[in-house]
A and B are shown apart, each in its own frame.
Chain A
Amino acid sequence: MHVPDGFLDAPTSVATGVVAAAAVGVALRRARTELDDRTAPLAGLVAAFVFAAQMINFPVGAGTSGHLMGGALAAVLVGPWTGLLCVAVVLVVQALFMADGGITALGTNVVLIGVVTALVGYVVFRGLQAVLPRRVGTVAPAAAIAAFVSVPVAALVFSLLFAIGGTAPVDAGKVLTAMLGWHVLIGIGEAVVTGLVVGAVVAVRPDLVRGARPLVAARELEIRTVAA
């Protein structure tokens, strides 16, 4: 969903740039509470993995493809604020070195692919955790569903931005319908990748996964009580 320069007009691009900068500013402060000596290297790895995974476009039919956005994945693994920063770093590198996503559109892309997917993904994930059984085994499925939801929401936000500041005289309703349709399909791929990756890390080191930590801590406390 990398937005190139030119799709959105200057005022809209400036506005999304301001929102992106504000979100990154908040994330820089909040991420401190998520990062310690053990999780900081993992954050670097998560960003590197998201960059790599975004190179893999998978076909979704009718000559169209999609790739992982990674915000929900990063949010569950290293926390929403750190996750947002991870994806923002990926987007900056893509825009500056790979010409993937525009330069004036960088704020738009940080908002859509970083802020929206990380925060929506994390809120949905936490909401699911509140209703699901408190077991480590529910972390990966919850992450997958959160990832699935995050993609059409990002498509919705793009469509709203296009309705406000699209440079072409194209019916906004048509754009919205088409964007939602395709991104529900792409969201399935997002869910599969997110579920598999979170599941793999949870299987070997649940204590390192931000979204699993409350469950792991609870379990450890139980064990200690029995041992004492």
Chain B
Amino acid sequence: MSAPAQDRTRVSTRALLVAGLVVALLVAGVASYYASAHPDGLEHVAEQTGFLDTAEDSPTADSPLADYSTKGVDDERLSVGIAGVTGTLVVLVLAGGLALALRRRGPAGAEEDPADERAHAPERA
């Protein structure tokens, strides 16, 4: 099945999704270790204006991935990396599954992208 000439300049949907996922996993799994440890805007304001001590521990504070560190993994780099990759994949499955369940099905979807339709259309006999 040959793609039309104009599609050669286009990145396929699959390639885009794979590249995007690789970037997300690198960000969550590797780059996250280098994130700033300073309090965020809200936390800083709460401290500054004096209501930070009203914060309560989350009921999930003892869960295995709480605070983006993996329980039982001492290496900090690995600990945050595992938590980040796990969280990213869980979100991908949940949000992707939800989107697939909600999507419109049938020919209406295919109609919107003539290029993809051409690419997937069977060769003319």
Contact = CB atoms under 8 A, between A and B. Distances in A.
B112 interface: yes
B78 interface: no
Interface in A12-60: 28, 31-33, 35-53, 55-60
A55 B27 contact: yes
A60 B41 contact: yes
A67 B43 CA distance: 13
B104 A99 contact: no
B96 A179 contact: no
A95 B58 contact: yes
B38 A64 contact: yes
B11 A205 contact: yes
A179 B115 CA distance: 47
A41 B87 CA distance: 17
A75 B62 CA distance: 33
A73 to B, nearest CB: 12
Contact of B58 (A5, A39, A179): A5
Given A51-B88, A204-B16, A64 B56 contact: no
B40 A1 contact: yes
A51 B103 contact: no
Contacts of B20: 45, 49
Contacts of A63: 38-39, 44
Nearest to B65: A97
Which among A31, A94, A99 has the greatest number of chain B C-beta atoms within 10 A? A99
A168 B92 contact: no
Contacts of A155: 41-42
Contacts, number: 252
A222 interface: no
Given A45-B21, A155-B41, A167-B51, A57 B92 contact: no
Contacts of A175: 45, 49, 51
A64 B92 contact: no
A213 B108 CA distance: 16
Interface stretch (A84-92, A116-124, A130-138, A141-149): A84-92
Kindly state the interface size class of chain B when it binds its partner. Answer: 35 or more
| Contact residues of A: prevailing secondary structure | helix
A204 B10 contact: yes
B73 interface: no
A228 interface: no
Interface in B44-103: 44-46, 48-51, 53-61, 63, 65-68, 80, 83-84, 86-100, 102-103
A207 B10 CA distance: 10
Contacts of A50: 91
Given A4-B58, A44-B93, A103-B60, 15 more contacts: A37-B109, A38-B109, A45-B21, A50-B91, A52-B27, A55-B84, A57-B36, A57-B40, A63-B38, A98-B65, A98-B87, A99-B61, A182-B44, A183-B41, A207-B113
10 shortest interchain CB distances as A-B pairs: A44-B96, A36-B109, A47-B95, A168-B51, A52-B28, A6-B56, A43-B99, A35-B103, A65-B36, A48-B92
